[in-house]
Chain A
Amino acid sequence: MSKVEASQYGDRKVYSVGSFNRGVAEWLQRLPTVWVEGEVTELRRNPRWQSVFFTLKDPTDGACLGVTMARGRFDGLRVDLADGERVHVFGRPELFEARGDFRMRALSIERFGLGDHLAALERLKKKLGAEGVFDRSRALPRFPRRIGIVTGNDAAAKQDILSTITARFPAARIVVAETYVQGPFAATAMIEALRGIAAAPEVDVIVLSRGGGSFEDLLPFSDERLLRAIAACSVPVVSAVGHEQDTPLCDLAADARASTPTAAARLVVPDATELLEQLARSRAGLGRGARTLVDRRRERLTHAHERLRRAPALAVERKRARLDQAAGRLRALSPRATLERGYAIVRAQEEIVRSADAVSTGEQIVVEVADGRFGARVE
């Protein structure tokens, strides 16, 4: 290795490009070996090349790092890496002197294991939870004008949700956005589909749907970028991903979660048959209510009428009773009853005689008894 030497121009010290690169390269070699996490992209392996090349990409912000690894070492690892796969790379920074390219020289590569994924998901869940990304639960519309469905082109899953929605509510209008739901491009593709369908006219609710799959298959549904896109979506989102036991983080970011496509259909459209039955019941109740009202009025009217019919006779009877009573009392007060017991009324010159001194001998008087009167003379 040639030395790092500078030429002197007066009081200025100047390096050649080679010297400069060599100097930086030597300095970089003193840095320690570290583990770096990222997604493998642009993997290039050629049997005639000494090294294998790929780019390690940060899935959250897209930062890139070139990586080289000796081909023999790479092949010895027997990791069948594919683009988009998440890995941990052990290595040190390095400068390719001829081109001044900064990169990482890999000594080992480990595929991101299940435990790593779980730990990463747990961290992401905590972080987004603290940020409030999972706090959304907007009410779903009862009668959506149009329903957006973001789904894979897997015929079974798509058909399942479409037929369930149509069976429940035949008038439903559906817009489908087919997208990758698996693999390295799934998250960005789904975000694009989600945004596109949310911007479509009259779409009031979106179902994010995917059939069952392995843990790795469902990983894109826990992608941080997708979760943020769901939380920021302008219309409510229903997550219908995987099976009952799967818990992708999109379930938390969405406004509602459904364990099956059928359950998702139940959430986004009402059951038309049930609605019609309810309506029929209401209509029957309407007729019943009107009849009951008339019946009650008629009952009250009939009752009043019966009382009215009886009232005049009652009034006359009462008046007659009062009259009879008065007549009785009148009769009781008349002197006739006294005369019938043998008393007599004596009158002289039309005046009732109440004293013996009121008459004189020989005077003409009239005597009234019960059944008539006769004349007499005082002696």
Chain B
Amino acid sequence: MSAEPTFEEAQRELEQIVERLERGEAELDEAVQLWERGEELYKLCAGKLDAAQGKIEELARRVESARP
């Protein structure tokens, strides 16, 4: 298993999966697998975004409280 993908890599893979599913190209069994993979990627991306936003808000609070 390769290292965890970056947010951008995961997002790109997720969007490719969605497009494949929407075009109806995949085999039924494969479609189910793709969907599972897509959900996994979504969770990964959402987690990364939450972490980034948390950091931004924390920084903003720190800046605000340090204001003279």
Query: Do they bind each other?
Result: yes
Q: At the interface with chain B, which of A240-248, A308-316, A340-348?
A: A308-316
**Which residue from A294, A308, A316, A319 sits with its C-beta under 8 Å from B18?**
A308
A315-B31 contact in complex given A300-B11, A308-B21, C-beta closer than 8 Å: yes
Q: Select from chain A the residue with minimum beta-carbon distance to B10.
A: A301
Q: Select from chain B the residue with minimum beta-carbon distance to A319.
A: B28
CB interface residues, A 276-318, toward B, < 8 Å: 283, 287, 290-291, 294, 297-298, 300-301, 304-305, 307-308, 311-312, 314-316, 318
Q: Contact check, A307 vs B31: say whether CB atoms are below 8 A apart.
A: no
A212 CB, nearest partner CB in chain B, Å? 41
A314-B22 contact in complex given A287-B60, A291-B56, C-beta closer than 8 Å: yes
Bound-state Cα–Cα, A301 to B41, Å: 10
Q: Beyond A297-B45, A304-B14, A308-B17, list 4 extra A-B contacts (CB 8 Å).
A: A291-B53, A301-B42, A305-B14, A315-B28
A196 CB, nearest partner CB in chain B, Å? 40
Q: Contact check, A307 vs B18: say whether CB atoms are below 8 A apart.
A: yes
B35 / chain A contacts, CB cutoff of 8 Å: 308, 311-312
Bound-state Cα–Cα, A291 to B52, Å: 9
Q: Contact check, A312 vs B45: say whether CB atoms are below 8 A apart.
A: no
Chain B interface main SS type: helix
Bound-state Cα–Cα, A342 to B60, Å: 84
**Which residue from A283, A297, A308, A318 sits with its C-beta under 8 Å from B42?**
A308
Q: Contact check, B18 vs A304: say whether CB atoms are below 8 A apart.
A: yes
Q: Select from chain A the residue with minimum beta-carbon distance to B48.
A: A297
Q: Contact check, A287 vs B63: say whether CB atoms are below 8 A apart.
A: yes
A314 CB, nearest partner CB in chain B, Å? 7
List 11 contacting pairs A-B, 8 Å CB cutoff, sorted by A: A287-B59, A297-B7, A301-B14, A301-B45, A301-B46, A304-B42, A308-B38, A312-B21, A314-B21, A315-B26, A316-B28
Bound-state Cα–Cα, A319 to B26, Å: 10
Q: Select from chain A the residue with minimum beta-carbon distance to B15.
A: A304
B63 / chain A contacts, CB cutoff of 8 Å: 283, 287
Using an 8 Å CB-CB cutoff, how does the interface string of A232-264 with B read, 1 for contact, 0 for none?
000000000000000000000000000000000
B62 CB, nearest partner CB in chain A, Å? 11
Bound-state Cα–Cα, A304 to B10, Å: 11
Q: Contact check, A311 vs B21: say whether CB atoms are below 8 A apart.
A: yes
User: Which residues on A are within 8 Å of B, measured CB to CB?
Assistant: 283, 287, 290-291, 294, 297-298, 300-301, 304-305, 307-308, 311-312, 314-316, 318-319
Bound-state Cα–Cα, A308 to B15, Å: 8
Q: Select from chain A the residue with minimum beta-carbon distance to B16.
A: A304
Bound-state Cα–Cα, A294 to B31, Å: 30
Q: Select from chain B the residue with minimum beta-carbon distance to A289.
A: B56
Give the 4 A-B CB pairs with smallest separation, nearest first.
A311-B21, A308-B38, A312-B35, A307-B18
Bound-state Cα–Cα, A291 to B55, Å: 10
Bound-state Cα–Cα, A100 to B35, Å: 120
B8 CB, nearest partner CB in chain A, Å? 9
A321 CB, nearest partner CB in chain B, Å? 10
CB interface residues, B 1-40, toward A, < 8 Å: 7, 11, 14-15, 17-18, 21-22, 24, 26, 28, 31-32, 35, 38-39
Q: Contact check, B52 vs A294: say whether CB atoms are below 8 A apart.
A: yes
A311 / chain B contacts, CB cutoff of 8 Å: 18, 21-22, 31, 35, 38
A314 / chain B contacts, CB cutoff of 8 Å: 21-22, 24
Bound-state Cα–Cα, A314 to B24, Å: 8
A311 CB, nearest partner CB in chain B, Å? 4
**Which residue from B26, B49, B53 sits with its C-beta under 8 Å from A301?**
B49
Q: Contact check, A294 vs B49: say whether CB atoms are below 8 A apart.
A: yes
A226 CB, nearest partner CB in chain B, Å? 46
Q: Contact check, B39 vs A308: say whether CB atoms are below 8 A apart.
A: yes
Q: Contact check, B11 vs A304: say whether CB atoms are below 8 A apart.
A: yes
A298-B38 contact in complex given A308-B17, A315-B21, C-beta closer than 8 Å: no
A137 CB, nearest partner CB in chain B, Å? 39
B7 / chain A contacts, CB cutoff of 8 Å: 297
Q: Contact check, B22 vs A307: say whether CB atoms are below 8 A apart.
A: yes
A291 / chain B contacts, CB cutoff of 8 Å: 53, 56
B14 / chain A contacts, CB cutoff of 8 Å: 301, 304-305, 308
